[in-house]
Amino acid sequence: MQHDLASAPHKASGEYKSVNFAQKLGLIHERWTPKVIAEMNDYQFKLVKIEGEFLWHQHAETDEAFIVLEGALRIDFRDGHVRLSAGEMFVVPKGLEHKPFAETEVKLLLIEPRGVLNTGDEGGERTAVNDVWI
């Protein structure tokens, strides 16, 4: 979904508006369903709330950036894991199989190219509808 400057979410009635993470996160009531809040070139910035265990998956064509806004996230890999706290980020390289896990609710900012599915190459019932803006 392309936005011209006049209709972009960051501009309303001739006034430029910032994107407020807390306000946007308040609009998200489900988990594991990333919502787009902005685009830059071909990249989307997505907010998501997660809790529990996701599924093993990979993104064959792109890296995926995880930025923890609140909570503590563990990303498992077949040969280890990384732990992230609020204010930390990690970039999962393309093609690397991974499985996010959050013992309690975590609020994340994801950065990835437009059109990337949350379940990557795995698909299935946990695949969220893509390109949903809030």
Structurally, the chain folds into a number of domains equal to: 1
Contact call for residues 120 and 96 (beta carbons, < 8 A): no
pLDDT at 9: 63
pLDDT tens for 11-68 read 667 789 999 999 999 999 999 999 999 999 999 999 999 999 999 999 999 999 999 9
Does residue 83 lie within any of the structural domains? Answer: yes
Does residue 34 lie within any of the structural domains? Answer: yes
| CATH code assigned at 79 | 2.60.120.10
Token pair of 53 as six digits: 């265990």
Does residue 74 lie within any of the structural domains? Answer: yes
Does residue 134 lie within any of the structural domains? Answer: no
| Average pLDDT taken over every residue of the chain | 91
pLDDT band at 83 (very low <50, low <70, confident <90, very high): very high
pLDDT band at 6 (very low <50, low <70, confident <90, very high): very low
More confident site: 120 or 127: 127
Does residue 65 lie within any of the structural domains? Answer: yes
d(CA 8, CA 84): 32
What values do phi and psi take at 91, rounded to 5? -105, 120
Token pair of 43 as six digits: 């990249």
Does residue 7 lie within any of the structural domains? Answer: no
Does residue 16 lie within any of the structural domains? Answer: no
Q: What residues contact 43, with CB distance under 8 A and at least 6 apart?
A: 111, 112, 113, 114
d(CA 72, CA 84): 6
Its pTM stands at: 0.87
Domain that holds residue 62: 24-113
Does residue 119 lie within any of the structural domains? Answer: no
Hey, which of 16-20, 57-61, 105-109, 128-132 has the most confident mean pLDDT?
105-109
Say how far residue 131 (Cα) sits from the centre of its chain: 11
